Every structure is written in structure tokens, then in C-alpha cells.
Amino acid sequence: MREATRDTRSSRVRNRSRQGRLWPAHVLLSLGAVVTVFPLVWEVLTSFKSFGESVQVPPTILPAHWDWSNYGKVFDAVPLGRQFVNTAVMALLRTGAQLLLCSMAAYAFARIRFPGRGVIFLGFLAVLMVPGQLFLLPQYQIMQDLGWLDSMQALVIPGMFSAFGTFLLRQFFMGLPEELEEAARLDGANPFTVFWRVALPLAKPGLLALGVLTFLWSWNDLMWPLIVNTDPAKMPLSAGLASLQGAHLTEYPILMAGSLLATLPVIVVFVAMQRQFIQGIAFSGMKG
Amino acid sequence: MSIDVRAETAVPAQRTSQDRLDQRELRRRERRFQHRDKWWGYALIAPAGIGLAVFYLWPVVQTVYYSFTEWGAFGGTSWIGLSNYRTLVGDPEFWQSLGNTGIYTGLVLLGIPLSMVLAVLLNLKGLTGTGIYRTFYFLPVVTMPAAVAVVWRWLYNGDAGILNHALSAIGINGTYWVSDPHVIRFAVAVVGVWMTVGYNMILLLAGLQSIPGDYYEAASLDGAGRIRQFFSVTLPLLSPTLFFTTVLSIIQSLQVFDLVYLIIGGNTQNALQNPAYSEGQTVVMLFFQKAFYDNQRGYGAAIVCVLFVLIMALTAIQFRLQKRWVHYA
């Protein structure tokens, strides 16, 4: 993004003087960063305090002694392990399915000519524009009719399809150079082979961006799981945490330990794939 | 239509060069690589298309239909015309929730200038450590809302919360932030801003980085200082991004659910006992309560239909107003 500074003395000197003038920016940005991160730091610190210490007035900043037991107690309060597996399976299956189904449809919209393409694309766009709550009642009805309430299918299946993902990848395919695909086509490959062997590998940055976004949204999704899965053993972590908080549990250190465990995987994914994340958001600028 | 035809026949000479250009453009587009096997097109679209039709497109139609019906105790619907909508108009709970949602949206919009300041600072030439700052500001965006709510409830806790402790140090008596009807909307909006500042910052930063450096060079050659450059180069060129960010922010804030729902209670039973419930409740929370807790599906459907129309109308108005302040280069 920023041009590499040449390692000559003059540029280094210029750079140093520039850094000198930039200190007010650093002060402001650090201040903001501290305010932003403080709640999360407080969460970590509280999760290591005993209940008695957490409600003590005046509050201690660092735990008097680091108490790991809250992390064990969470598992007693809710089936956290089960919920962890539920969440991971839900997020991974939704992400995998979306990547496959969206990229197929996106490629067809971008590169195959067929009657009715415009109309079908309008249908996709319509889904994109409607607020998510309008789908919920009938979706619930479908799950009920199929006997899928309190099941993994309920968590995964409606989330496998995405107009947003199709739209994002279509834009991506349209921006790819056409020569390689044309060459493959002239060699006699059918459109699916061209898509799978040539276009899809080129679209990897787009797929990664969609993948991390979908994973995050699925991991954090709350409303749909709350509606369809009321059995704690079938819930993902988000709904589990909500019910834990609702279950008159007032031991905040335990709640903090639970929230941290629930959030940790997403934070790890975010830190590891930050570039794709930010690209995806900047590229699409849209959410769910 | 007829005017078009006449214009075309009346001034053929003036149009030919334009026509030729269009023709060339058309041929260029024609040349774009496209497969001709239409069956492959249908086959590739079918899985996503059928899923979206069954789980998304058709449900929209059904929800609109439901909003004109009443649900019997043992399933089955009966058509009651506009009755749900008439009830809605006279329902103080609905107006209250709409007002709460409006206030929340307005307060969250105040975070956009904040995101703008951060984006401008992060875009300063030669600034080091931008990656670390970006990570920090973005952490609240990726944190699970359920966890966010737990943490903030703890910070806001009336007896042992760190916020009240800090306030008492400067002589202010804090309140019970999540159960005080007078402050709940602000308490929730603060968390809303906290969660969205990083997100908007990323959008605005992308906009800032797409402004070509030549503009600044030209401006500084003309003797424009930093401040002047900001107002006559940065702001106009960033206005499309700002517009986009505002529209998105409004659409998302009007649909706010998890954050408020969780901060107020964690589940509907719990939340209903919160004295600040009606001052905090948002439109989508009302929908959730009616549709899935009180089992008034038809009424719930009417609520989200009204919300949908409202969002569409507000977005349309913004697109109308954008001509006054958005500059497309």
C-alpha cells in the first residue's frame, strides 16, 4: 500500500523528521485504541478473578491470584464442548457450501450466456435487498414441517445459500482476465472444466475474502439459532452464551471465561487472515 | 418514446460519431469471453438459485401474505385483511420501539465522524504501526455480540461495575445503566458505536486510499494548506464512500437486535422483567417477541413488513438527497 522507502540516508532522515511530526497522530490513535480494547482486556482480567474478588469495592485491576477455575466451571454450567462443536460444524459447513454454490452461480452469471440470465440475476439481487427478518417466519415453518427443529440441519441448511456471496464473486470473476479461459475453451474444455480448472484458482483472493466473512457471520449468528434450536445441547455458542446469561447466572468471572472461549477462534482467524478480512469488507462493504 | 425517434431522425449528422463509438463499445462487449452452452449456465446456477428461491425469495412472499392473516391456536391461518396493520398503528408498544430504534440509529450515526477521524489519521503518509492500530480498532467488530453484551453488562453493572467506580472517583454517582429507563438507550448506543467504529473506519480508509495523490499535489501547488486540502479535496472525493457508509449504517442500525436484546436480558423472559425493557426494545425485538414468544405470527409479519417499507423509503430518500452533497468524480 505504501511505497517502500529507499534505504538511502536522505530518505531515512526525511522519514525520521516526518515521524517526528506524526506524534500527535500517534497519541490520538493510541488513546482511541486503549479505549477500544479496554472492555476486552477487562474481560480477560475478570475471567481470572474469583467471584469474591470480582465484586470487591474498590475493584482490583490485576487478579490477586490468577484463578483458572472459572474456565472449568463454564463447562459445568452449559454443555460448552458440545456447543463448540456445533458452532464449528455450522460455521465450516455453511462456509464450504457457500464457497462452492456461490462460485458456481457467480461464474455462470459472469461468463455463460443463456436466456433468462438477467431475470434470474434480478431475483438474486432482490434477496440481497430484503432485510433478513422477512425470511425468518417461513424458514422456521419449513424447519418445523421437515421436523428439523433442534437439529444440525436447521443450523446449516438455510445458511448455505447466499445472494451476497454470489454477487461478490460475480464481480470478482468479471474482473479476471479472459485469455486463459478462452484458451482452455479452444482446447475443447467444457464450461465446468474451465470454471473449475482455470477460473476458480484465479479467484482465490475473492474466495478467501468471502470465506472469512461467512465464517465470522456464521460463528457469531444469534437470532436464527435462538429460533430453531432451544435444546442447549443443539445450540451454537452464541445462543448458549445468551441462555447462560439468561439463566440468572450472576457470576461474571464465569461468564467472562465463557465469552472469551467462544470468541477466541474468531479472533485467531481474524488476526491470521486480517488482509483477506479487510479486503472482503472494503470490497463488498455489505453485511449479511 | 416518440420524441426520441424524432430526435434521432432530425439530427443524424450529430449522432453518427456517437453511434460509431457505441458500436465499437458494443462490439468490444460482444467480444468478451462467454460460453455459449446455455445448459451449463442453468446447471451451475440451479443449486444456489433453488436454495435461494425456497429459503429466501418465496419466504418474502409468504411473510407479506402472513401479515394479512391471523394464526389459529392449532396452526392454520385465516385472512383478516388489514387488521394487523390497523392494530399496529394503534399500538403504543410499536411506536415506542420505533422511536427507540430511531434514537439508536441516530446515535450510532454519530460514530461515523469518529471513524472518519481515525481513517484520516491512519492514512497519514509515513505513519508507522498502522497494522496494529487497525487490528485493535477492528477487534470489537469480530467479537461475538453475545460476548460483547456480557462484557458491557459487567462494565455497566450498577454495584460492582468499573464504570461507576471510575465515575465515583470524579464525584459522579453512577446509575444502573442497563435497567434505568432514562439511560438505557444511550448505554446501548455507546456499545453500538464501539462495535461499528472499526467497520466504518475500514470502509472510509479504503475510500481515502483510492484518492489519487496528484489531487493533493495540485492543491498544495495552488497554495492550499492541510485543512483547506481536507475540505476541498478529501471531503468531496470521499463523499461517495461517506454516502455509502451512511446508507449501510442506517440500514443495519434499523435492524438492530442481538446487541440490545442481550444487554437488556439475554432471553425474552428475563428481558421482560427489566424495568428499562420498553425504553430499550427495538422494532426487531418486538417482532421477535410477537412472532416467536407470544405466537402472534401474523402481527409479527406485519411488523417486519412495515420495517422493510421504512428501510426502503429511507434509502430512497437518501439516494434522492445525495445529489446535494455527493460528488462523483
pLDDT tens-digit series, residues B261-303: 999 887 777 777 888 889 999 999 999 999 998 889 999 999 9
Residues of A in Cβ contact (< 8 Å) with B125: 2, 18
pLDDT tens-digit series, residues B237-247: 999 999 999 99
Most confidently modeled range among A71-80, A191-200, B214-223: A191-200
Backbone angles phi, psi at B37, to 5 degrees: -75, 100
Of A43, A181, A182, the CB nearest to B151: A43
| CB B52, CB A159: distance < 8 Å | no
pLDDT cut 90: percent of chain B above it: 61
pLDDT tens-digit series, residues A152-176: 999 999 999 999 999 999 988 998 8
Is pLDDT of A273 > 80? yes
Distance CA B257, CA B153 (A): 16
Distance CA A68, CA B175 (A): 31
How does residue B217 score in pLDDT terms, banded at 50, 70 and 90?
Answer: confident
Q: What is the pLDDT, as a whole number, of residue B126?
A: 87
Is pLDDT of A286 > 80? no
Residues of A in Cβ contact (< 8 Å) with B154: 42-43, 46, 252, 255-256
Q: What is the pLDDT, as a whole number, of residue A2?
A: 43
Looking at beta carbons, which pairs linking A280-283 to residues 24 or more positions away fall under 8 Å? A280/A168, A280/A208, A280/A209, A280/A210, A280/A212, A280/A213, A281/A213, A281/B199, A281/B202, A281/B203, A282/B202, A282/B203, A282/B205, A282/B206, A283/A168, A283/A171, A283/A209
Residues of B in Cβ contact (< 8 Å) with A238: 144-146, 258
Of A55, A115, A133, the CB nearest to B38: A115
Q: What is the pLDDT, as a whole number, of residue A12?
A: 56
How does residue A141 score in pLDDT terms, banded at 50, 70 and 90?
Answer: very high
Q: Lowest-pLDDT range, A81-95, B74-88, B299-313?
A: B74-88
Of residues B157, B308, B223, the one with CA closest to residue A132: B308
Q: What is the largest CA-CA distance in chain B?
A: 82
Provide the ipTM.
0.88
Is pLDDT of B318 > 50? yes
- Identify whether B113 is preceded by a cis peptide bond (ω within 30 of 0): no
pLDDT tens-digit series, residues A119-131: 999 999 999 999 9
pLDDT tens-digit series, residues B127-183: 989 999 999 999 999 999 999 999 999 999 888 889 999 998 898 888 889 889 999
Of A112, A262, A266, the CB nearest to B35: A112
How does residue B1 score in pLDDT terms, banded at 50, 70 and 90?
Answer: very low
- CB < 8 Å from A in window 301-320 of B: 301, 304-305, 307-308, 311-312
Residues of A in Cβ contact (< 8 Å) with B42: 108, 114
Q: What is the pLDDT, as a whole number, of residue A244?
A: 81
Dihedral (CA of A27, A28, A31, A37) sign? negative
Q: What is the pLDDT, as a whole number, of residue B27?
A: 62
Is pLDDT of B24 > 80? no
Distance CA A171, CA A128 (A): 15
Q: What is the pLDDT, as a whole number, of residue B301?
A: 97
Q: What is the largest CA-CA distance in chain A?
A: 77
Is pLDDT of A74 > 80? yes
The set of residues, in sequence order, having a beta carbon less than 8 Å from that of B216 and lying 6+ positions away, is: B229, B233
Is pLDDT of A18 > 70? no
**B69-71 and B77-79: which strand pairing?**
antiparallel
How does residue B13 score in pLDDT terms, banded at 50, 70 and 90?
Answer: very low
Residues of A in Cβ contact (< 8 Å) with B142: 216, 266-267, 270, 277
C-beta atoms of B147 and A260 within 8 A = yes
**Three-class secondary structure of residue B299 per DSSP:** helix
Average pLDDT over every residue of A202-226? 93
How does residue B329 score in pLDDT terms, banded at 50, 70 and 90?
Answer: low
Residue entry with cell 428499562: B276
Cell numbers at residue B183, please?
A: 439511560
Average pLDDT over every residue of A5-21? 57
Q: What is the pLDDT, as a whole number, of residue A280?
A: 80
| CB A210, CB A281: distance < 8 Å | no
Question: Average pLDDT of chain B?
Answer: 88
Q: What is the pLDDT, as a whole number, of residue A249?
A: 64
